[in-house]
Amino acid sequence: MKLFPTEHALQQEVELMKHTSVALREQARRKQIVSAVLLVIVIFQFAELPGALLMHTAMDIGTVVLGLALCAVAGDRPGVRSHAPDLTDGAGR
């Protein structure tokens, strides 16, 4: 059995908590950015919808509907995947 020194255990725990906090803030920031981008795309699609309906072409209407559907699918995901590991314990903490 290998014994580990405990003289720096508190300092290592504080460092781990700092890294966890930074990773969680980064993950929240990425979610906000993706949500803002999706909102801009949805607004643009809704602005284009009346013109597509007036043109009565399947391609115009299909493009708007496809754009809205993609935004709905992208926004419906429970979280944005990032390169940072998920450091929550599943309980929302």
Question: What burial class does residue 64 get, using C-beta atoms within 10 Å of its C-beta: 0-12 exposed, 13-18 middle, 19+ buried?
Answer: buried
The more confident residue out of 92 and 57 is 57
Domain positions in the chain are 33-78
Contact between 30 and 82 (Cβ < 8 Å):
yes
The one-letter amino acid at 36: A
The more confident residue out of 73 and 13 is 73
Token code pair at residue 26:
């980064």
The one-letter amino acid at 83: H
Q: Judge whether residue 59 has pLDDT over 60.
A: yes
Q: How confident is the model at residue 23 (pLDDT cuts 50, 70, 90)?
A: confident
The more confident residue out of 53 and 18 is 53
In the prediction, which pLDDT does 33 show?
92
Digit-coded pLDDT (tens) for 31-50: 899 889 989 999 998 888 88
Mean pLDDT for 65-71 is: 89
